[in-house]
């Protein structure tokens, strides 16, 4: 759809811009990708915390369902397992859910990013790929014991060729 002075013309098989310009039809502003503003670190952190809270909730539900399905009283489990063993058990589920959650949901947008109005895109504003999201989630996961230093330096963005933008 292009505008010619006061009327609109629908073009089913568009001609190159040069051909349209010779017919007096303006093509300014067509086919340009909009520039997106990279989201601030604070907004990204809030979205990340919301997503991690959802992952923790999924781990709690999974643990509760496993205990209920086994028919074991919670008190018995607390007496049999040490806090470290329970931590390793829940931590394993957290890591698995974390990698799946961010690798798959970042393709379309996680709930935390959606609530904060954020979106993951490639560096050239392309759609994210599974490789991008998997690399981002691995680097972010490994940055947790490093006090999030790689995240602060945006290693996950640089190594995965992606960025988080404000919609």
Q: What is the pLDDT of residues 63-75, one digit of tens each?
A: 999 989 988 888 8
How confident is the model at residue 72, as a pLDDT?
85
The Cα angle at residue 140 between residues 93 and 154, in degrees rounded to 5: 170
Tell me: pLDDT of 30 over 50.
no
How confident is the model at residue 34, as a pLDDT?
54
- At 31-86, the pLDDT tens digits run 445 567 999 999 999 999 999 999 999 999 999 999 899 888 888 888 989 999 99
166 three-class SS: strand
73 three-class SS: coil
- At 114-142, the pLDDT tens digits run 999 999 999 988 999 999 999 999 999 99
Closest Cα partner for 157 from 129, 120, 127?
A: 120
Tell me: pLDDT of 143 over 70.
yes
Tell me: pLDDT of 29 over 90.
no
Confidence of residue 20 (pLDDT cuts 50, 70, 90): very low
Which class for 137: exposed (0-12), middle (13-18), buried (19 or more C-beta within 10 A)? buried
């Amino acid at each position: 759809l292009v505008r010619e002075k006061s009327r609109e013309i629908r073009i089913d098989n568009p001609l190159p811009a040069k051909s349209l310009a010779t017919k007096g039809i303006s093509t300014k502003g067509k086919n340009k990708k909009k520039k997106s503003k990279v989201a601030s670190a604070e907004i990204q952190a809030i979205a990340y915390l919301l997503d991690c809270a959802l992952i923790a909730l999924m781990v709690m539900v999974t643990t509760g369902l496993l205990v209920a399905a086994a028919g074991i009283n919670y008190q018995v489990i607390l007496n049999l397992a040490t806090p470290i063993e329970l931590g390793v058990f829940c931590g394993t589920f957290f890591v698995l859910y974390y990698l799946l959650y961010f690798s798959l949901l970042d393709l379309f947008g996680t709930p935390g990013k959606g609530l904060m109005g954020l979106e993951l895109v490639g560096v050239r504003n392309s759609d994210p790929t599974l490789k991008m999201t998997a690399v981002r989630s691995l680097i972010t996961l490994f940055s947790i014991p490093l006090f999030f230093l790689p995240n602060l330096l945006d290693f996950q963005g640089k190594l995965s060729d992606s960025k988080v933008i404000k919609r």
